[in-house]
Amino acid sequence: MMRIEIPKEVQIILKTLSRAGCEAYIVGGCTRDSILGRTPKDWDVTTSAMPEQVKALFARTIDTGIKHGTVTVMIGTEGYEVTTFRVDGEYEDGRHPRNVTFTRSLEEDLKRRDFTINAMAYNPETGLVDLFGGVEDLKAGMIRCVGDPHARFSEDALRVMRAVRFAAQLGFSIEEKTAQAVRDLAETLNRISAERIRMELEKLLLSPEPDRIETAYDLGITRVVLPEYDALSDREAKTGTYPCARLHTAALIRCAAPSRPQRFAALLSYAGPEMAGKVMRRLKFDNTTRILTERLVRFQDFSFENTPAAMRRFLYEAGEDLFPQLVRLREAQIAAKACGDSSAAWEDLKQKEMLFREVTESGQCFSFDRLQVKGDDLIAAGVRPGREMGNLLHSLLEAVIDDPGLNQKEMLIRMALEKQQQNGHT
């Protein structure tokens, strides 16, 4: 009998439920990952107990999704989702189930799940419950729908993206009938909310095989959720190594570091900052990720000469915090070109990194917080506050970026007063 190592806390939950005469199993991702020898992210429990009964059996619970039968059981500081066996009701427009019905049958609960590898349950007494050949598909590396793929994708269109996402996360292929149903029903993704699509896209791009975005393309998914990607097929690649911009982009994504800004900047590197921002807004990204990604796209081609002055000017425009991120993106770009002699590009990057350290560590000025004069100093010296002063500070900063020797308080105040006089103010 297959044995799965279960954390103590989860064992307590299973035991408590079974002593109360209920069935309880770990289910879904944690069962799948355990069989694969991977460490599960979280442990979900499915049970025949009704939500009220679950709440009565445990000291601390949270009603996370009580309508859908989910109660979070707190053990120590960790929470575990315990969900009552359920059958999803009718699906409205391929979105969330309109209603759910609780059931006493584990089989019914497993049947509503998306893929065979996600539809296995386990507890130490019963062992593994694998009704649809999940283990076999895990061994074969196969994503296969539970039951009829067309029917399953019609219930919830997001599943077509989940198929590709799991393929990318696990390095699996998509079984042919399932793949065909994805092709046939990819269009229905237009009924799914941007948030749900974004979450799948993120998981796909942050997976070990993010270039499986090409699978999403082949199956007609990007055409619906990311037409900008498909449009790259008609654009020439910036480097001769690739037949089109789309395939170059896929390679860039694969080489990019696994963070959202890096992978999405790679995805949108041909789009330019405005279009990148537009796409990310449409996908309802948080502002922080969107803005960082836009900045990466905007400054990705940093090709100034390797002098301290040029570095200071660049840091003034791009922002000091962006530089290390740009270096990582550049590393991906160089790696993705994978042609002929990239050693010059590596050498240039190394020089820029050294220059960055030199300029920042020696306290050279390229931003207002490094400027030796503040607005208050100018006011004290008799400069009127307002737009005029903003302009003055800007011109002082520009002067200091070009000539660091000028970054001294007295000197800057004198310069400010002179400039003000030139502008006809006293």
| Chain residues that interact with ligand ATP, rule: CB under 6 A | 28-29, 41, 113-114, 118-119, 156, 158-159
273 counts as binding Mg ion under rule CB under 5 A: no
Q: What is the DSSP string of 358-403?
A: HHHHTT---SGGGSS--HHHHHHTTPPPSHHHHHHHHHHHHHHHH-
Any idea what DSSP says for residue 60? S
Smallest distance from ligand ATP to CB 383, Å: 57
Strands 24-27 and 100-102, bridge-based pairing: unpaired
293 binds, among ligand ATP, Mg ion, none (CB under 5 to 8 A by kind): none
Measured between alpha carbons, how far is residue 260 from residues 56, 255, 288, 292, 401 in Å? 41, 13, 11, 10, 32
Nearer to ligand ATP, 119 or 265 (CB): 119
Report which residue's Cβ sits closest to Mg ion: 29
Distance CA 90, CA 84 (A): 18
158 binds, among Mg ion, ligand ATP, none (CB under 5 to 8 A by kind): ligand ATP
130 binds, among ligand ATP, Mg ion, none (CB under 5 to 8 A by kind): none
Q: What is the DSSP string of 129-181?
A: E-SS-HHHHHHHTEE-BSS-HHHHHHH-THHHHHHHHHHHHHTPEEPHHHHHH
Nearer to Mg ion, 79 or 308 (CB): 79
Distance CA 419, CA 241 (A): 53
Smallest distance from ligand ATP to CB 2, Å: 18
Nearer to ligand ATP, 114 or 294 (CB): 114
Smallest distance from Mg ion to CB 341, Å: 45
Considering only the stretches 23-31, 79-87, 118-126, 140-148, report the one whose residues sit in contact with Mg ion under the rule CB under 5 A.
23-31
Nearer to ligand ATP, 41 or 387 (CB): 41
Nearer to Mg ion, 29 or 79 (CB): 29
Report which residue's Cβ sits closest to ligand ATP: 29
Nearer to Mg ion, 65 or 308 (CB): 65
What angle, rounded to 10 degrees, do the helices at 322-337 and 260-267 form?
A: 50
> Which residues on neighbouring strands pair with residue 261, listed in sequence order?
none
29 counts as binding Mg ion under rule CB under 5 A: yes
294 binds, among ligand ATP, Mg ion, none (CB under 5 to 8 A by kind): none
260 binds, among Mg ion, ligand ATP, none (CB under 5 to 8 A by kind): none
Token pair of 217, please?
A: 């393309």
Contact 165, 197 (CB under 8 A): no
Contact 364, 404 (CB under 8 A): yes
Smallest distance from Mg ion to CB 41, Å: 6
Nearer to ligand ATP, 203 or 313 (CB): 203
266 binds, among ligand ATP, Mg ion, none (CB under 5 to 8 A by kind): none
Residues that bind Mg ion (CB under 5 A): 29
